[in-house]
Structure 1
Amino acid sequence: MEIGMIGLGRMGGNMATRLRNHGITVVGYDRSPESKRDVASLAELVEKLQAPRVVWVMVPAGAPTDDTITELKGLLDEGDLVIDGGNTKYLDDARHAQELSEKGIHFVDVGVSGGVWGAERGYALMAGGAQEDYERVRPYLEALKPEGENGLVHAGPVGGGHFAKMVHNGIEYGMMQAMGEGFDTMTHSDLIDNPAEVMASWRDGSVVASWLLDLFALAAQQDPTLHDMPAVADESGEARWMVEAALELGVPVPATVAALYARQVSRGAGSDTLRVVSALRNQFGGHITKA
């Protein structure tokens, strides 16, 4: 088995490592010469892969993904398959699939969650595409997912994978916001001596136990007050897209809206709530927010 990986940053580089650890040959390309890339161009990547090829695109959403897919269309052959594993807006997937299909190239979109820990823990993967295309790429997805039954789903047709990941990130926004608000409330109370210790205690036996709590405890070990973290948090787009989709579908999403607005407002004036959100984003994704 072999696959081309385009984009060897925090996510793509770790994914390439996990695939190789499962015995899959990876031909990696990145624009940066310092990226430990295997080839220096997309043309060279395509040349090194045996047809029919599978190529995974792991670059920033928007123009970088658009440009990469357009270039791949000119390089790949009929029967090849492109996977978009970035945080592309789900509405763009149909356009990408149509563009590639004009040359007989298949397309699968995959929402990926797991952050910088994925190489070790595995990634949660949400795939969108035709059933036969999903089955074709499933061995790669099985290598990337965590051990066990869960962590991989064929969410639906093209666009379904990124739609599922968009909803996943909207839920993530709400969960982190709630944790931040709880921490902020305890820091203002004379009845709580150590808010970070209280929250860390919930990791066992509590109904709110989660990996996010584990990551909070890890951040709090280094800085119990989180005052070294900026009281701001960026929003990367997915929650905003979810709110837009929910409005079109007639689904109320007040928790996601509140969490989204809190991040937008934080750019002007932050609070301890956003220190928690910022710390968690740094822990699971390596995201560094500048004050």
Structure 2
Amino acid sequence: MELAMIGLGRMGANMAERLTRGGHRVHGYDPGEPARRQAAERGIAIAESLQAAVAALPSPRIVWVMVPAGVVDDTLDALLPLLSAGDTVIDGGNSNYKETMRRGARLAEAGMHYVDSGTSGGVWGLAEGYSLMIGGDAGAVEALRPVFETLAPAADRGWGHVGPSGAGHFTKMIHNGIEYGMMQAFAEGFAILERKEAFHIDLQQVAEIWRHGSVVRSWLLDLTSDALKKNPTLAGIAPYVEDSGEGRWTVAEAIDLDVSAPVITMSLLERLRSREDDSFADKLLAAMRNEFGGHRIKQG
């Protein structure tokens, strides 16, 4: 198939390269010249403008948008005047599913298809394939089957049509919330092991033991083992953890639906806590303990 990939950051460029290797013709475009240049060095056909990328496509056109959630609407504003009824836009980024539903309705009014593909796989997706959670009109999704089969780990696994417009991004949002909880559990467990100094436990050895036969074996554990092998003491890494926003959306959705999700919620709060270099709350806790019990205050 022939399509345009708009957004050539690491994920977008990797996906474009995997599609190209799979025999699809991809016209890549990114507003940043360095991104275009780096993608061209990887064998991706580059368009020098959004207009050129769209103009190169046969009708009906397929445009995969791989941009940050905050600029999707701006990208669509620039893109839609270049498209026609029957064309398809795929949003493969981490958009909020409610925004996806709104955008899907907007394109439907113009006679176009809007397909949301929640995409997981990170930097390993190029070699291993991507997990694709796809929402949108069933006919539009089926027409894109060759693209999804190429991007997935195999044609018959790792991807699927999970529901109507917004369902793909909703499913990916919950996926990321689960990911938060799993990562937090591993982090806490290894922190306890590391603190038990009397046993001198080799954390990377433990990770390797758990990778084979253990009920907690997983890709995240594989990556944990790799990280500990490269840097056993995690020297030079600041205890500061970002979040993509999807964990926040998951917690908000759990509240809206009256679903108890304490693990995901606490894992998000721990990420927020990691960013406090000078926590007022902790200072106040120390002050309160001193007031009611005369407990010692450590001077900072």
Q: Above 0.5 in TM-score?
A: yes
1:56-95 alignment to 2 at 5 Å? Answer: 56-62=64-70, 64-95=71-102
Match of 2:127 among 111, 116, 120: 120
For CA contacts below 8 A with separation 6 or more, give which structure has more relative contact order. 1
Stretch of structure 1 that moved more, 152-161 or 227-236: 227-236
**Runs of 4+ more than 3 Å apart:** none
Whether the aligned pair in 1 keeps the contact of 2:116 and 2:168 (CA below 8 Å) is yes
1:201-220 alignment to 2 at 5 Å? Answer: 201-220=209-228
Change in Cα spacing, 1:10 to 1:224, as seen in structure 2 (3 Å) is same
Query: Per-residue deviation at 1:32?
Result: 1.2
Query: Per-residue deviation at 1:153?
Result: 1.5
Change in Cα spacing, 1:148 to 1:22, as seen in structure 2 (3 Å) is closer
Paired residues in the alignment total 269
Which residue number in structure 1 is paired with residue 287 of structure 2? none
Q: Is 1:7 the counterpart of 2:34 in the alignment?
A: no
Which residue number in structure 1 is paired with residue 284 of structure 2? none
Q: Is 1:184 the counterpart of 2:202 in the alignment?
A: no
Which residue number in structure 2 is paired with residue 100 of structure 1? 107
- 1:139-188 CA-to-partner distances (Å, cap 9, x unmatched) read 10110000264210211100000000000000000000000000110111
Stretch of structure 1 that moved more, 236-245 or 261-270: 261-270
1:254 and 1:218 map into 2 onto residues whose CA distance is 29
2:273 and 2:112 map into 1 onto residues whose CA distance is 43
1:29 and 1:23 map into 2 onto residues whose CA distance is 19
AA aligned opposite 1:49: L
Q: Is 1:134 the counterpart of 2:167 in the alignment?
A: no
Whether the aligned pair in 1 keeps the contact of 2:149 and 2:156 (CA below 8 Å) is no
2:10 and 2:51 map into 1 onto residues whose CA distance is 23
Q: Is 1:16 the counterpart of 2:23 in the alignment?
A: no
Query: Per-residue deviation at 1:199?
Result: 2.1
AA aligned opposite 1:191: F
1:202 and 1:192 map into 2 onto residues whose CA distance is 18
Q: Is 1:249 the counterpart of 2:252 in the alignment?
A: no
Query: Per-residue deviation at 1:96?
Result: 0.8
Which residue number in structure 1 is paired with residue 29 of structure 2? 29
Match of 2:273 among 247, 257, 265: 265
Whether the aligned pair in 2 keeps the contact of 1:196 and 1:225 (CA below 8 Å) is no
2:260 and 2:277 map into 1 onto residues whose CA distance is 27
Query: Per-residue deviation at 1:94?
Result: 1.4
CA root-mean-square deviation:
1.3
1:79 and 1:2 map into 2 onto residues whose CA distance is 15
1:160-199 alignment to 2 at 5 Å? Answer: 160-189=167-196, 190-199=198-207
Whether the aligned pair in 2 keeps the contact of 1:2 and 1:25 (CA below 8 Å) is yes
AA aligned opposite 2:166: G
TM-score by length of 2: 0.87
AA aligned opposite 1:29: Y
Whether the aligned pair in 1 keeps the contact of 2:63 and 2:89 (CA below 8 Å) is yes
1:149 and 1:48 map into 2 onto residues whose CA distance is 30
1:193 and 1:52 map into 2 onto residues whose CA distance is 60
1:199 and 1:3 map into 2 onto residues whose CA distance is 42
1:150 and 1:230 map into 2 onto residues whose CA distance is 37
What runs of 5+ residues in structure 1 fail to find an aligned partner? 271-291
Change in Cα spacing, 1:149 to 1:207, as seen in structure 2 (3 Å) is farther
Change in Cα spacing, 1:24 to 1:4, as seen in structure 2 (3 Å) is same
> How high is the sequence identity, in percent, across the aligned residues?
48
What runs of 5+ residues in structure 2 fail to find an aligned partner? 41-45, 279-300
Match of 1:235 among 211, 234, 243: 243
2:277 and 2:187 map into 1 onto residues whose CA distance is 15
* Larger radius of gyration between Structure 1 and Structure 2: 2
Change in Cα spacing, 1:148 to 1:45, as seen in structure 2 (3 Å) is closer
SS at match of 1:40: coil
AA aligned opposite 1:52: P
Stretch of structure 1 that moved more, 117-126 or 261-270: 261-270
Stretch of structure 1 that moved more, 92-101 or 241-250: 92-101
TM-score by length of 1: 0.90
